[in-house]
């Protein structure tokens, strides 16, 4: 008798293969650029066959695009979720700290892939346009929420929120994505970094 008991459903196996490829790509891209990384290296790190890879993607570039969509979706979900919650708490500091904490986790867990996307966007116009679209859709909601719950309704305050958000999220991204340029003893823990950036942001917008 050919029993199917104990077999992993095809859909679950496919999802697991994608997860393994994503984890392997992240590990490889922490060591080398996307152009330097070989497909074989990524496949070997995932513990899957090249056939399993080509059953899902046509080329290595398609894997990067899949990871791009995944990360952009996580960032967008984070900013949209907190923008929706702000009306419940009405606490701008807690709202902004929560947003930055989630963003810090995304940058930390996907450092290699995000760096690869940033580097590639310098020469890939379509990728650059997608990144700008996601950034506008995501952070505009944060800006609008902060302006509502922390501001005085003036255009000047909205401008300070925009500039402050650009400064703080840019600093968070640089500190976490390119942390190797900082001496080990100068790297604050993620929660400390977030707390200090939140303080800097509100000191600026309320000055």
Nearest to 99 by CA among 84, 118, 115: 84
pLDDT tens digits, 162-171 = 898 889 989 9
In this structure, is the dihedral angle defined by the CA atoms of residues 182, 106, 172 and 91, taken in order, positive or negative? Answer: negative
What CATH number should be reported for the domain whose range is 7-56?
1.10.10
Burial zone of 146 (CB within 10 Å; 0-12 exposed, 13-18 middle, 19+ buried): buried
Name residues whose C-beta falls within 8 Å of residue 177's C-beta, 6 or more positions apart in sequence.
107, 111, 114, 115, 118
Q: Are 109 and 30 within 8 A, CB to CB?
A: no
Domain 61-205 carries which CATH code? 1.10.357
Where in the chain are all domains bearing CATH 1.10.10?
7-56
pLDDT tens by residue, 97-126: 888 999 999 999 999 999 999 999 999 999
- The answer to whether the pTM exceeds 0.85 is no
């Amino acid at each position: 008798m050919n029993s199917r008991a104990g077999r992993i459903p095809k859909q679950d196996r496919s999802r697991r293969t994608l997860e393994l490829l994503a984890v392997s790509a992240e590990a490889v891209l922490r060591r080398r650029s996307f152009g330097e990384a070989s497909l074989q290296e990524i496949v070997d790190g995932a513990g899957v066959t090249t056939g399993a890879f080509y059953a899902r993607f046509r080329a290595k570039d398609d894997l990067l695009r899949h990871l791009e969509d995944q990360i952009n979706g996580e960032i967008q979900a984070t900013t949209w979720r907190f923008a929706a919650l702000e009306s419940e708490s009405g606490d701008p500091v807690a709202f902004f700290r929560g947003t930055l904490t989630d963003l810090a986790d995304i940058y930390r867990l996907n450092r290699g892939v995000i760096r690869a996307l940033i580097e590639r966007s310098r020469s890939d116009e379509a990728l650059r346009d997608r990144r700008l679209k996601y950034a506008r859709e995501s952070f505009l909601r944060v800006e609008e929420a902060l302006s509502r719950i922390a501001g005085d309704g003036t255009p000047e305050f909205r401008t300070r929120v925009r500039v402050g958000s650009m400064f703080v999220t840019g600093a968070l991204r640089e500190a976490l994505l390119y942390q190797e340029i900082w001496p080990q003893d100068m790297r604050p823990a993620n929660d400390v970094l977030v707390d200090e950036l939140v303080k800097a942001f509100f000191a600026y917008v309320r000055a």
